[in-house]
Amino acid sequence: MAGTQNQAAARVGGPQGTSGNPSSIQVNGSGTTPLTSSNGPAQTISTDAAVEAYIQKLLKVTTFLGLSVQVHNDVAKVLKKVEDDLDYVHNQQKHGITSIRGKQEQGHGYHSYGCAIDVNYATAPYLMHEAGEKALDAALTPVYNRIAWFVLGRESVIPLDITKLNGAPSDRDRLFAALKEESDAMRKYFGLYMQDPDTFLGPYLTSSTGSANAKKTAWAGVPQGTVPSTTAAFKQMEADWVTLTGRSNGPQVVLKGQPYQNPCDFGMCYPQATTYAKEGNYKTAPDAPFVNKGNAVRDPRNGFMDFDHDVVKALTDNGFTWGAIGFGGESGDVMHFELSALGAKVGADAKRAVDGGS
């Protein structure tokens, strides 16, 4: 998700010092300008610290839809314009946004410069295509397609369509609608069909729509074009849960009117999660999109997008790039919005500042 080391390193390189060592730089006594403009005893601090000192002067704590966030001064102005477009002062509508994060420490892409925000961090994950996660993406592709085919009768837009640099408003609107459908489909797939298979999954598999969709869906151990048994479909859903969450302790299941805390209670355990190795020179190993992080508990039963089209439209109409569809091959970061041009400029300015204006 936005701000992880893999994502930040792939898209936005941080400014470097002039010493040939990117980890440190000589500065004057104030710690904010290069040694070439000496004013007081010299000291050596990390490049990140020098950049941070520069950036701190450009930040402001503001509110967006009633939520406090620290961002670059110019970002604060744009967020105010977004609020005006949404007529927030009169209607007080939050458009599904319940949390917001802005400025983060150095090494977190444009967040480091206060030029990006994350909304609904816990419920709007980085679905796919994060740099350094090819092995995980290979496992995620059939999961997203399976959910879309089984519930919606179509292919998922997540593995490919969202990566096509969708900049036009018509693309944004089309893909928002498709992603919202898939988010709702995920809620149904795990929240109804897997959680209470007797009540919902079995009857759906025997319905005309459910059986037709099931025949188009790829199920492990089931011939293509065949409707799986309730047990086979349920086991597949368990495996998909584990792939998406990286956890083997899925939700409580109801079977024949009896609630079970663990499917192992009736002989159908969740499989063990796959552990992925770090790829290439990336600092971190791949992590599943719904992995729990800190206080953020992620649950596919809630889907992956709970803010509305109006706020996405207002943000993107005012220049924000939406990480879900706007990063080409690295699209999929549902929570993330950034002012890309401003972030690039601030980063370049910071580099010149710590380099002594060179």
Q: What does the block give as tokens for 248?
A: 């083997």
What is the pTM for the complete model shown?
0.88
Confidence of residue 354 (pLDDT cuts 50, 70, 90): confident
Q: Does a structural domain hold residue 165?
A: yes
pLDDT at 89 over 70: yes
Q: Does a structural domain hold residue 325?
A: no
Residue with structure tokens 């549902």?
334
Give the model's pLDDT for residue 6.
38
Q: Does a structural domain hold residue 14?
A: yes
Q: Does a structural domain hold residue 126?
A: no
Which of 141, 74, 147 minimizes the C-alpha distance to 300? Answer: 147
pLDDT at 345 over 90: yes
Among the listed ranges 14-18, 80-84, 90-94, 288-292, which one has the minimum average pLDDT value? Answer: 14-18
pLDDT, mean of residues 201-221: 97
d(CA 253, CA 342): 48
The amino acid occupying position 199 is T
For residues 116 and 144, state if they share a domain.
no
Sign of CA dihedral 189, 191, 197, 203: negative
Higher pLDDT, 75 or 357: 75
Q: DSSP readout, 235-259?
A: HHHHHHHHHHHS-S----EEETTEE
**How open is the CA angle 286-316-167, to the nearest 5 degrees?**
75
d(CA 351, CA 50): 10
Q: Domain of 102? A: 5-121+336-354
For residues 114 and 141, state if they share a domain.
no
pLDDT, mean of residues 132-138: 97
Which of 70, 65, 104 minimizes the C-alpha distance to 88? Answer: 65
For residues 140 and 115, state if they share a domain.
no
The rounded percent of the chain whose pLDDT value lies above 70 is 87
Last residue of a domain, one of 266, 286, 317: 266
Q: What does the block give as tokens for 213?
A: 């969709």
Give the model's pLDDT for residue 25.
55
For residues 165 and 261, state if they share a domain.
yes
Q: DSSP readout, 63-82?
A: EETTEEEEEEHHHHHHHHHH
Give the model's pLDDT for residue 294.
84
For residues 250 and 172, state if they share a domain.
yes
The amino acid occupying position 353 is A
Name the DSSP letter for residue 192. Answer: I
The rounded percent of the chain whose pLDDT value lies above 90 is 75
- Phi/psi of residue 172, each to 5°? -60, -45
Last residue of a domain, one of 236, 266, 296: 266
Among the listed ranges 18-32, 137-151, 239-253, 293-307, which one has the minimum average pLDDT value? Answer: 18-32
Q: Does a structural domain hold residue 292?
A: no
Last residue of a domain, one of 209, 243, 266: 266
For residues 216 and 99, state if they share a domain.
no
Q: Does a structural domain hold residue 22?
A: yes
Q: Does a structural domain hold residue 324?
A: no
Q: 113 vs 48, 66, 294, 323, 338, CA distance in Å?
A: 11, 22, 23, 17, 11
pLDDT, mean of residues 297-307: 96
pLDDT, mean of residues 204-218: 98
For residues 177 and 54, state if they share a domain.
no
d(CA 280, CA 338): 27
Residue with structure tokens 């980063």?
347
For residues 32 and 100, state if they share a domain.
yes
Confidence of residue 17 (pLDDT cuts 50, 70, 90): very low
Give the model's pLDDT for residue 7.
41
d(CA 350, CA 358): 11
pLDDT at 275 over 90: yes
Count up the domains in the chain and report the number: 2
- CA 89, distance to chain mean position in Å, is 29
pLDDT, mean of residues 289-315: 95
d(CA 97, CA 75): 18
Q: Does a structural domain hold residue 211?
A: yes
| Length of the chain counted residue by residue | 358
pLDDT at 145 over 50: yes
Mean pLDDT of the chain: 88
Residue 78 near residue 86, CB atoms below 8 Å = no
For residues 61 and 117, state if they share a domain.
yes
pLDDT at 150 over 50: yes
Exposed, middle or buried, 270 (CB in 10 Å: 0-12/13-18/19+)?
buried
Q: DSSP readout, 279-297?
A: -TT-SS----TT--BTTB-
For residues 246 and 346, state if they share a domain.
no
pLDDT at 277 over 70: yes
pLDDT at 175 over 60: yes
pLDDT at 65 over 50: yes
pLDDT at 341 over 60: yes
Name the DSSP letter for residue 278. Answer: P
pLDDT at 33 over 90: no
For residues 223 and 255, state if they share a domain.
yes
For residues 89 and 157, state if they share a domain.
no
> pLDDT for 99-108, tens place per residue?
999 999 999 9
pLDDT, mean of residues 290-309: 94
Confidence of residue 221 (pLDDT cuts 50, 70, 90): very high
